[in-house]
Amino acid sequence: DLTGMVALVLGGSRGIGAAIAAAFARAGATTWFTHTGHPQYADRLAQTLDALRAESCQVEAVVADACQGEATSALVEQIVRQHGRLDVLVANVGQNQVRSAETTTTQAWQQFIDVNLSSAFYGVRAVLPTMLDVHNGRILLIGSSAVYDGGGGAIDYAAAKAGLVGMMRYLARNYARHGIRTNVIHGSLKLAGVTL
């Protein structure tokens, strides 16, 4: 029962993120999630929102670029202004592409590290002041089985997801004493039986 809590899911319009956002909303949390605003997913997004709101869920979808730290900070400030709190952050933004290490360009490396790792940092940085104020908060970083098996995609994806583990350990070491719990959730869609 998450009634009264406020959650933000970065990257929550489809796949794992959509399932997390829906689960939080159905458990009673006021749930905000970000998405890219891509027209390809507009109908599915509208159907998801309509279905959740028909169940009396409190859910808001916001177009935001999670790779823009200022935009993430502004969104967190908006949520806190509107609700007076932010209890949970889920950093789920991710992108993978099958390619070899030797064909990975510098531009691709930087882009995918930003999407898969920096976006999580921007979210964490934005929520920490609010969570520190109340000595309470939950941060969930969505990792990947690529950390263990190298993944089926790109070297930057595997490296970024491994970076989330270091981020989690740093946050646990430095912020658990302030009531802020951080975890990384690794998984495989194949192992979890999820069909997208």
Residues classed as catalytic: 157
Whole-angstrom distance, CA of residue 101 vs CA of residue 94: 18
- Cα separation, 136 vs 111, in Å, equals 33
Sign of CA dihedral 25, 95, 143, 129: negative
* Alpha-helical runs (H) found in the chain: 15-26, 42-54, 69-83, 106-113, 119-134, 146-149, 155-175, 189-192
CB under 8 Å to 150, separation ≥6 — which residues?
Answer: 158
* 59 CB-near residues (< 8 Å, 6+ apart): 21, 25, 30, 31, 32, 33, 49, 52, 53
Q: Give the integer Cα–Cα distance in Å for 86 and 68.
A: 20
